[in-house]
Chain A
């Protein structure tokens, strides 16, 4: 089955700096790669996703890049703000009703003033 590794497990940045979280996956058949943000006491929330036919996608201060050959993808957050502090999860899956998301182990991002 799919295996997703995520690094780093914790990340502390100063407000205004950029943050980068990296993930690798094992199954070359995976073609959908979402990122979720989980705030304290809440469920994970989808913030951005990318499909295998795209190399990069951007939405305001967040961007995701995908390298299918190397089987890795990354989340980039620019101009970080205190409200970006949360646990971030990458995930990978195929498509179709029976597909399932395999999540990375999470990165706790702390944005300090």
Chain B
């Protein structure tokens, strides 16, 4: 199946732990993103990579570090997890030449920090 896939779907962890979320797309897209959706459903961009290069870095704590080993993968590592990090994290990608447009989203990772 052609898609944006992210793992895990659910992540429950204790405060202070370090965790990673993985994302892969097989759509041949150049640009990938991480979005955060809070409990009120508000969607906000965190990071954007184009061909493995960071192009958008919103005001996100340094504890969040994205890594793009190749243009088909964008992982998100979170250090020292806090209660406020609980949210649904979406990976997305967009076609070549259409950065910022026509986003294809993964199904999300629901992170719960206890």
Contacts and interface: CB of A to CB of B under 8 A. Distances in A.
A98 B100 contact: yes
A27 to B, nearest CB: 13
Contact of B101 (A34, A38, A41, A44): A34
**What is the interface residue range for chain A against chain B?**
20 to 34
B100 A103 contact: no
A36 B48 CA distance: 19
| Number of chain B interface residues as a range | 20 to 34
A109 B17 CA distance: 37
B43 A44 contact: yes
A105 B100 contact: no
Interface of B: 4, 31, 40-45, 48, 50, 55-56, 90, 92, 98-108
Q: 5 tightest A-B contacts by CB?
A: A99-B100, A43-B105, A97-B99, A103-B43, A106-B41
